[in-house]
Amino acid sequence: MREPEQALWVLLEERSLSQACAGYFAAALAWVLFFNMGDGLTVPVFLFKLALVFVAEIIAGCFLAAFCGLFLDLFKVETSPVKLFVLIGSAGFIKGLLIAFALISMALPEARLGCLAPLGLLLVLGLQLGYLTRSVRRMYNVSYRKAVSVWILAFVPVIAAAFLLGVFAVWGLVLLA
């Protein structure tokens, strides 16, 4: 495969759920290491957090694929939610840059790179959005504007659901206390 576009087509035509799950696992590992590097986690706690974030990544990927497919269908574009799920999983490898950022900031504590963590996080999420947008544009021959709007519209309900889940979890903990 000499062209990135050809690699994308092969990945999506195979509908390789194992490669998608590997991407989701890489994203979960990146999240856990980025936010907990240097905290002295024990192995069971680390594995529990990793499993929890991995399941959350897969659930978010399912919702994103469903909503993206819905909004593409509203634009009269024939889609496949499984292909979108695999695409979102492959985008998880981009989050590996978070691990590199965490390692560099730990190696140079006098540089105080930890203050730039939100910027690094936004950069990685922007790269991931760019990858997803460009891939949808190539796969379905839609305009750049439609591809960006599809992803932004798909992220809104997923973020709202995660926020409400967090509110209800805090509310439940307060009631139990």
Q: How do residues 2-55 score in pLDDT, each as one tens digit?
A: 666 666 666 666 777 888 889 999 999 999 988 888 778 889 999 999 999 999
Residues in Cβ contact with 26 at an 8 Å cutoff, skipping those fewer than 6 apart? 92, 93, 95, 96
Nearest alpha-carbon partner for 36 in 90, 98, 88, 92: 98
Least confident segment among 7-11, 46-50, 71-75, 90-94: 7-11
Pairwise CA distance, residues 63 & 85, whole Å: 9
Residue pair 28/89 in contact (Cβ under 8 Å)? The answer is: no
Q: Which residue has the higher pLDDT, 110 or 83?
A: 83
- Single pTM value for the model: 0.83
Nearest alpha-carbon partner for 127 in 100, 109, 161: 100
Q: Say whether pLDDT at 58 is over 90.
A: yes
Q: What's the sign of the alpha-carbon dihedral 40, 43, 49, 50?
A: positive
